[in-house]
Amino acid sequence: METIIKLENINKSYKVGENSLHVLKDINLTVEKGEFIAILGASGSGKSTLMNIIGCMDNSDDGEYFLEDIQIHKCGDDELGKVRNENIGFIFQKYHLIPQYTVIQNVMMPLLIRGMSRREATEKAREILESIGLGDRMNHKPNELSGGQQQRVAIARALVTKPALLLADEPTGALDSNTGKEILQLFKKMNEIGNTIIMITHDTNVANYSKRVLYLDDGVLTEGKTNY
């Protein structure tokens, strides 16, 4: 198996007044290519902090983080920005679509940022939207879509760059139960065709769609169960 992510003894603390709050405590995690992992934890467990570190949006205080062959713990801000754009696809609870852009323009954006031609970016965005059932919504604005459709657009935007890792933060949190299940089934299909996924959630039912569940409690990460 090919290792995508390796975290070794990751710690993170924040200053709260005169005190120090130890949010992540000696986190160790190995993720292999093609895994679908859920990190399950209650509010305040450190999930968001861990997601920000895995997503290269924040640095740990100490420890080592390898993403493929990149030593993330040694990267500066500019390098981290490049890694985020080229190696990680983000899927958030609130979609983060650009409201004045059409669906296809939203999905093209990461490719244009990379310097791809508009023609090629349009073609790749069209292909990914058709593959997830949004071929007839390409020229709609986000406010003309349902919540589930907006989340599918966000997923297409994350997939279009073919990232090493898909990082999903509470991806069904803004959706009703049935729509949430549809999105999670889409995640399973994405994983079946080879996408590596880490999903952050507080919901056991959501976590159970993954193949491997890890538990984060008071900053401590422990192995949970596998769902095969």
In terms of pLDDT, which residue wins out, 22 or 96? Answer: 22
Residue 131 lies in a domain: no
- Per-residue pLDDT at 216: 95
- Write out pLDDT tens, residues 99-151: 999 999 999 999 998 899 999 999 999 999 998 888 899 999 999 998 889 98
Share of the chain above pLDDT 90, in %: 65
pTM for this prediction = 0.90
- Write out pLDDT tens, residues 31-52: 999 999 999 999 889 998 999 9
CA distance 27 to 63: 9
- Per-residue pLDDT at 71: 94
CA distance 191 to 200: 16
Residue 11 lies in a domain: yes
With CA atoms as reference, report the closest residue to 192 among 4, 34, 37.
34
CA distance 193 to 196: 9
pLDDT band for position 96 (cuts 50, 70, 90): confident
In terms of pLDDT, which residue wins out, 116 or 92? Answer: 116
Residue 124 lies in a domain: no
CA distance 152 to 171: 10
Is residue 15 over pLDDT 90?
Answer: no
75-97: average pLDDT: 88
Is residue 171 over pLDDT 90?
Answer: no
Is residue 189 over pLDDT 70?
Answer: yes
Residue 87 lies in a domain: yes
* Average per-residue pLDDT for the chain: 91
For the chain, the domain total comes to: 1
CA distance 172 to 187: 11
Query: Range of 203's domain?
Result: 3-96+163-226
On the CB side of 157, CA atoms within 13 Å amount to: 29
On the CB side of 35, CA atoms within 13 Å amount to: 20
What pairs with residue 67 in β-bridges? 5, 70
Residue 222 lies in a domain: yes
Is residue 206 over pLDDT 90?
Answer: yes
pLDDT band for position 228 (cuts 50, 70, 90): low
Residue type, position 211, single letter: K
With CA atoms as reference, report the closest residue to 52 among 24, 74, 32.
24
Residue 121 lies in a domain: no
118: CB partners within 8 A, 6+ apart: 108, 112
Paired sense of beta strands 19-32 and 36-40, if any: unpaired
Residue 14 lies in a domain: yes
Burial class (CB in 10 A: 0-12, 13-18, 19+), 46: buried
CA distance 213 to 228: 11
For residue 174, what is the domain's CATH number?
3.40.50.300
Residue 49 lies in a domain: yes
